[in-house]
Amino acid sequence: MTLFYAPDIQPPRYTLNEEESRHCVRVLRLGAGDALWLTDGRGTLYTAQIIEADPKACEVEVVETVEEYGRRSYSLTMAVAPTKNIERFEWFLEKATEVGCDCFIPLDCRHSERRVIKAERELKVITSAVKQSLKAYHPDLTPMTSVAEVIRRPFEGVKLIAHCRAALVERSLLKDCVHPGEDVLILIGPEGDFSEEEIRAAVEHGFREVSLGDSRLRTETAALAAVMAVSFINQ
């Protein structure tokens, strides 16, 4: 299956943009009559047939539509402080998209070593992972947001904060805090971890302190471990 991302698709006919058209015709060598698949990123998978194999404007016709393709029983929001080395954060975005994540919130924390990201570049990483892993749902990417704001936002689901400091209240393993079908929001801090004030504020707003195990993990490793844990719980 060759999947293309078409957020603005309006069946029955659709024209791939120039970049996607070139990839389709020049790289994949697809021609008139060949099949391909498209997604709007909102859960709809379209089976289409190439009508005109133009490398600048490849036109296709939708022949079948599947709603809620690959829909999961839960939603996962990962609020993660981007790493100083942006490639490590992009690695996390790619792998978390492949496993299953609905929203990424780049966190601005007291100890953050990176406070600016290039959203257009990060979205390309996410979109590429969506297509590679054959996902019909495209995760959202919010602007950089302060941890204080994320903590205060209403969230109807399980709210967790993972950190390595001494627990203020009580720390449980993440696997013991999440049940199948629950919506989950997880906070993962920067290389220097959350400050005690940030942890305290999170606890006061209903977040549970969690551990990912005995190992001390890098930010991106901890974030992916959390995504994997939630995915396994929901299998």
Query: How confident is the model at residue 216, as a pLDDT?
Result: 86
Q: Report if residue 147 sits inside a domain.
A: yes
Query: How confident is the model at residue 124, as a pLDDT?
Result: 97
Are residues 219 and 115 located together in one domain of the fold?
Answer: yes
Averaged over 147-166, what is the pLDDT?
95
Q: Report if residue 198 sits inside a domain.
A: yes
User: CB of 230 within 8 A of CB of 173?
Assistant: no
pLDDT tops 90 at residue 166: no
Q: Of 66, 89, 118, which residue is a domain's last? A: 66
Are residues 57 and 81 located together in one domain of the fold?
Answer: no
Are residues 112 and 58 located together in one domain of the fold?
Answer: no
Which token pair is 209?
Answer: 């302190």
Q: Report if residue 22 sits inside a domain.
A: yes
Are residues 98 and 159 located together in one domain of the fold?
Answer: yes
Q: Report if residue 71 sits inside a domain.
A: no
CATH (domain of 46): 2.40.240.20
Are residues 88 and 62 located together in one domain of the fold?
Answer: no
Averaged over 171-178, what is the pLDDT?
94
- Of all residues in the chain, the percent with pLDDT exceeding 70 is 100
Q: Of 43, 66, 89, which residue is a domain's last? A: 66
pLDDT tops 90 at residue 78: yes
CA-to-CA distance for 181 and 78, rounded, in angstroms?
16
Are residues 86 and 200 located together in one domain of the fold?
Answer: yes
CATH (domain of 98): 3.40.1280.10
Q: Report if residue 39 sits inside a domain.
A: yes
Are residues 58 and 96 located together in one domain of the fold?
Answer: no
Q: Report if residue 172 sits inside a domain.
A: yes
Q: Report if residue 80 sits inside a domain.
A: yes
Are residues 14 and 92 located together in one domain of the fold?
Answer: no
Q: How many domains does the chain have?
A: 2
Are residues 98 and 25 located together in one domain of the fold?
Answer: no
Query: How confident is the model at residue 133, as a pLDDT?
Result: 97
Q: Report if residue 110 sits inside a domain.
A: yes
Containing structural domain, residue 188: 76-233
Query: How confident is the model at residue 4, as a pLDDT?
Result: 96
Q: Of 23, 40, 66, which residue is a domain's last? A: 66
Summarised one tens digit per residue, pLDDT across range 177-196 is 999 999 999 999 999 999 99
Are residues 211 and 96 located together in one domain of the fold?
Answer: yes
What is the pTM for the complete model shown?
Answer: 0.94
Are residues 161 and 135 located together in one domain of the fold?
Answer: yes
Are residues 100 and 211 located together in one domain of the fold?
Answer: yes
Averaged over 25-47, what is the pLDDT?
96
